[in-house]
Structure 1
Amino acid sequence: IGGSWQPSQDAVRQLAQLGVTKEFAQQQIPQFVAYWRERNVPRHSWESKYIKEVWRQWQQAESTSHRRSREVSVTGEWQPSQDALDLLIVKGGINPNFVDDAVPEFILYWRDRGDVSSTWNSKFIQHVRRQWQFYTGMMEQDSMPRSMPAQWQPKESVYDVLQMANIDRHFAQQTIPEFVLYWQENGTPQASWSTKFLQYVKRQWARHNQPQSASGTDGKQQGSNSKGRIRDRNIIDALSDRSWAS
């Protein structure tokens, strides 16, 4: 192929009929010529080769453009699709409340990162499945209900799950006194205090990062003593509701 090779008007028209713009077709000429000059391979028809190559490049560009047009950032109102929920709950056997409690932490992490994607549902499915696998492992280790001991501490595996959820370890550790106090006063034995604590931290993390509670309720909670904090209605709700931890 010659260094000054150019496609004919007929080749450009054929590409236009395929939806390829004239500008795009012309942009591919230097690369096409350089590539085949380096290989020094003779061709009977450079035109047909050029048309095929430009058409392939155009399809790739269109596919990339379409994918990017579907990429969005995560908003505070994001929710997993019904298909994603079916995969997790119906086919995966994951507790619906466990899935629901994973949404706020997922939103917070990806919103803070500022990423855009067209596959948020796939990311969420992976996010939940990894945590559920660790969670069920903890449940299998604990089977005998027992009362809350005064010096209770969560298992290290709890922090592993919280790390997967992108929840700060220090935040979790700060909630231990109020958690222990509540269940000592409540007196109800539980088979797995670690999973109960995991549930509690996930819900408190979601509340802690709600924009409307950035000042006020959370600030007051952090500034008061444990017995004062445990009487807060939000804390009581977080400790006593939901059904995936037991």
Structure 2
Amino acid sequence: MTNTWRPSEDTMALITGILGINQAFAEDAVPEFVIYWMERGTIEASWNGKFIQHVKNQWSRFNNLPQSGVTATPISSDWQPCNEAVEILRHANMDDDFIHKLVPEFILYWKETQRCYPSWNTKFIQHAKFKWAKQFAFAKIKRGNRHVDSNRPRSTRDIPLLENLLDKSWADGLMLNGSAFK
């Protein structure tokens, strides 16, 4: 899987024509599909077949959601994420400055595509998480090209999330049942 992968025209024709799935819905599923399979590092003979199954599953889930009466609308020029959306992003360690700098680009993109969605907040959360992850991937590549002073303490922003999550240094010297914790 590569980050430039796209389903074939025949695949999209089958999804929209024979399966009757909305084309915009199928197009929106591509980035998630690509990221998922890139992260897994799986080698597959038929990505198109896997994509068809993925879209069918997502479409089924989408159509089985309880209908809340919310209709899809185009994004307005003065749209802002709701407080709950901002709070969710803060919990993902994004600062307010980062979050609010994304809004004009987000609005411009969706105004130009002229697509309608029932929840711009959900779309914005997805967009912000993608940009946040991309920023850290870029920073990791950038750090890989420079010498890191091992005597200098690293800030939490310099340490990848996975490294933080797997860090067990806090348990160094801890004894459990008479043996050292590893």
TM-score (norm 1): 0.35
Larger radius of gyration, structure 1 or 2?
1
Structure 2 length-normalised TM = 0.45
